[in-house]
Structure 1
Amino acid sequence: MDVDTGIDDALAIVYLLSRPEVRLQAITCTAGNVGARQVALNSLSLLELCGREGIEVAVGAEVPLEIPLVTTEETHGPQGIGYAELPAPAQAISPRHAVDVWVEEARAHPGEITGLITGPLTNFALALRREPELPRLLKGLVIMGGSFYYQGNTTPTAEWNTAVDPHAAKEVYTAYRGMPEDKLPVVCALDTTERIEMLPEHLRRLGEAAGAAEPELVLPEQPEGLRSGSSSPLVACLSDAIRFYMEFHRLYDQGYVAHMHDAFAACAAVGRTPFSTRLATVDVETESPLLAGTTVADFRGLWGLPPNARIVTGNDPGQCFDELIASVGALARSLGIR
């Protein structure tokens, strides 16, 4: 899993930890929502909160390939996890570089590892430079990123992860041209991830699923920054993070909701939520100041180039939230209450 943790990345990590059939081999960290080292600290602290110490967390690229780094603390909070406060992790960051983790683990486990990337594609692009056979060595790849004939969330046409490092995204999609269909990345773009709108009702249900005695109420009429009083430490952490995210969305006239882009991608990666895809040839604009980071999909073969992506074109938000709430709630229940 390659992340820029991030509120929705945090829920994605916790969700994967909640699935008994999933082995999280490693977490690699790139700069995006916050700096790469803060991403690693957030990820380590979440692992420890969930009782899963021992999973390797490695830092990778701290800047994009060719352009200056832009982070988004106004969206995710100064540490990247909203109002949540986690203790400093006891486990150290891995001495391995994220690129080494990608390459060495894929070589050691050919055809066994599914990659899930919920941040900018910088680490993976660098890994492809080191090992061009990665697309064949991996079992599959799921990417959260892009926006196809749909408004961007960073510029009018560009999605955040791609906008942070468009050159890396371009390299990744280029590397997948000509790959067999079952090896092409599944791309979860804004077109469908913005349908995964977390509402106050979902947080109330999460508290119930965790067995917390008190209702988890995150409501638009409450003061901004109100902290959770949940007896479940995991629910309290997620609630404090997501409240910040809901307040951000409301500030930009999107309603008191939180788009859980990365959590949907995690559910899709493990096959626990239904979705449909469509083959396309994807490219990324890197030269135009007006359109930098824009992802373009040729669904009709007009470029005469082979497909390099399977773009998610349909999903089921209700089922996805049922899955997230039941699974994360069960993990929270197993961790106990305070």
Structure 2
Amino acid sequence: MERVVLDVDLAMGAPGSDIDDGFALALALADPGIALELVTTVNGNTDADTATALTLELLHRLGRPDVPVVRGATRPLVRPQARQGSLPEDVPVREPREGVAAEAMVEIVRAHPGEITLVAVGPLTNVALAMRLDPGFAGALKSLVIMGGVFEGQTNNAAMPGEFNIWCDPEAAAVVLDSGIAAKWVGLDVTLQVRVERAQALEMAASDRQFTAFAGEYTAAWIDHIAEIDEPGITSCAMHDPLAVAAVTRPDLLTWRDAHVAVSQADLTRGVMVCDFRCTGSGPDGTPRPARPNASVAVAVDVAGFNNHFLKNLEAIA
């Protein structure tokens, strides 16, 4: 059984907001190989307060209000930008556990060294703060799985050259990459390949199962939002965050390559990952390449295998 802390910028349940983080939370609860021990929230898809309220609401919908939730960072480490969201009027504001996310992460890892897998599916602000708070934090983790980055391609978006989570807080990503732990990075190279079609979402919305109907309604709305705002004609959305959760118990669904990765913190290339898979020899000018990989990067995915794993586990949720 994998003991997991899940760090989220959850927005499922807010109109016009991304939904894959909600599915990630559901999968972490449904997978019999995962014991979800703590959920922390961070500013990203929405603001930290809204993410916290929506996380607590979703845990109630999923019948697991016992899972502790701790509010995290409200803005990136350095950059002043902070996302602002809106909480639907019908969502009650429940109080999370006392404390702040970084401290809660440090406490649980100190109490169980070598046993906790941290899965981060939002900006890495909380994770970086935990690493700064306790220099031994990274080394005491069993594993760190991150949904973030694009390694063999690019976003083709000048306004957001890096993948969203990394673009939001590249300084935090740099702290993680320099921490000494070789995290498993699940980026757009693979997550864009695992998708839910609008027709599937509408079928889910018509279900008599509470969570399925709820998730289907908001998934269809999210696909419509993408089609209207970003990608006209698109009929599906990616399951970025659930793929990272799946990697905890089913790393075999992904093909991994060790690499030395750095992140750009410059404005023009903010969040771009510079990925060196060779880690040996020298560059064209004779400069030695880094000899030590600091990341394990997912470069291919078994789409059918993930879909089977995802759907099989979600069937256990009412």
Task: Tell me which of 293, 297, 306 is aligned to 1:320.
Answer: 306
SS at match of 2:146: strand
**What residue number does 2:219 align with?**
242
**Structure 1 residue runs without a partner (length 5+):** 204-215, 219-227, 333-338
State the TM-score, normalizing by the size of structure 2.
0.87
Partner Cα separation in structure 2 for residue 136 and residue 158 of structure 1? 27
**What residue number does 2:243 align with?**
264
Task: Tell me which of 280, 290, 294 is aligned to 1:308.
Answer: 294
**What residue number does 2:140 align with?**
137
Partner Cα separation in structure 2 for residue 321 and residue 164 of structure 1? 29
Deviation of residue 29 (structure 1)?
0.6
Equivalent position amino acid for 1:168 in 2: A
Q: Does structure 2 retain, via aligned residues, the 8 Å contact 1:272–1:323?
A: no
**What residue number does 2:254 align with?**
275
Deviation of residue 276 (structure 1)?
1.0
Q: Does structure 1 retain, via aligned residues, the 8 Å contact 2:258–2:277?
A: yes
Q: Which has the higher strand share?
A: 2
Structure 1 residue runs of 4+, over 6 Å off?
none
Equivalent position amino acid for 1:299 in 2: F
* Percent of paired sites with the same residue: 31
Q: Does structure 1 retain, via aligned residues, the 8 Å contact 2:21–2:241?
A: yes
Q: Does structure 2 retain, via aligned residues, the 8 Å contact 1:26–1:56?
A: yes
* Post-superposition CA distance 1:11-69 (Å, at most 9, x none): 00011111233211100111000000111111111111111111110011101011122
Deviation of residue 89 (structure 1)?
5.7
The alignment of Structure 1 onto Structure 2 pairs a total of residues equal to: 295
Deviation of residue 102 (structure 1)?
0.7
Deviation of residue 299 (structure 1)?
1.1
Partner Cα separation in structure 1 for residue 303 and residue 292 of structure 2? 31
Task: Tell me which of 176, 182, 185 is aligned to 2:183.
Answer: 185
State the TM-score, normalizing by the size of structure 1.
0.82
Task: Tell me which of 3, 18, 26 is aligned to 2:8.
Answer: 3
Deviation of residue 271 (structure 1)?
2.0
Partner Cα separation in structure 2 for residue 122 and residue 163 of structure 1? 12
Deviation of residue 292 (structure 1)?
1.1
Deviation of residue 191 (structure 1)?
0.7
**What residue number does 1:198 align with?**
196
Deviation of residue 202 (structure 1)?
4.1
Relative distance call for 1:22 and 1:153 in structure 2 (3 A) is farther
Q: Does structure 2 retain, via aligned residues, the 8 Å contact 1:153–1:160?
A: no
Task: Tell me which of 30, 42, 45 is aligned to 2:54.
Answer: 42
Partner Cα separation in structure 1 for residue 84 and residue 298 of structure 2? 26
Deviation of residue 273 (structure 1)?
5.7
Partner Cα separation in structure 2 for residue 29 and residue 43 of structure 1? 8
Q: Does structure 2 retain, via aligned residues, the 8 Å contact 1:85–1:237?
A: no
Q: Does structure 1 retain, via aligned residues, the 8 Å contact 2:263–2:273?
A: yes
Task: Tell me which of 184, 194, 209 is aligned to 1:232.
Answer: 209
Q: What RMSD over aligned residues (CA atoms) do the two structures have, in Å?
A: 2.1
Task: Tell me which of 165, 170, 173 is aligned to 2:174.
Answer: 170
**What residue number does 2:70 align with?**
58
Relative distance call for 1:273 and 1:71 in structure 2 (3 A) is farther
Relative distance call for 1:127 and 1:88 in structure 2 (3 A) is same
Equivalent position amino acid for 1:2 in 2: D
Relative distance call for 1:239 and 1:261 in structure 2 (3 A) is same
Q: Does structure 1 retain, via aligned residues, the 8 Å contact 2:56–2:69?
A: yes
**Structure 2 residue runs without a partner (length 5+):** 1-5, 12-18, 283-288
Partner Cα separation in structure 2 for residue 153 and residue 249 of structure 1? 16
Partner Cα separation in structure 1 for residue 240 and residue 211 of structure 2? 20
Deviation of residue 85 (structure 1)?
8.2
Relative distance call for 1:306 and 1:259 in structure 2 (3 A) is same
Partner Cα separation in structure 2 for residue 238 and residue 255 of structure 1? 19
Equivalent position amino acid for 2:277 in 1: F
Relative distance call for 1:50 and 1:22 in structure 2 (3 A) is same
Q: Does structure 2 retain, via aligned residues, the 8 Å contact 1:250–1:257?
A: no
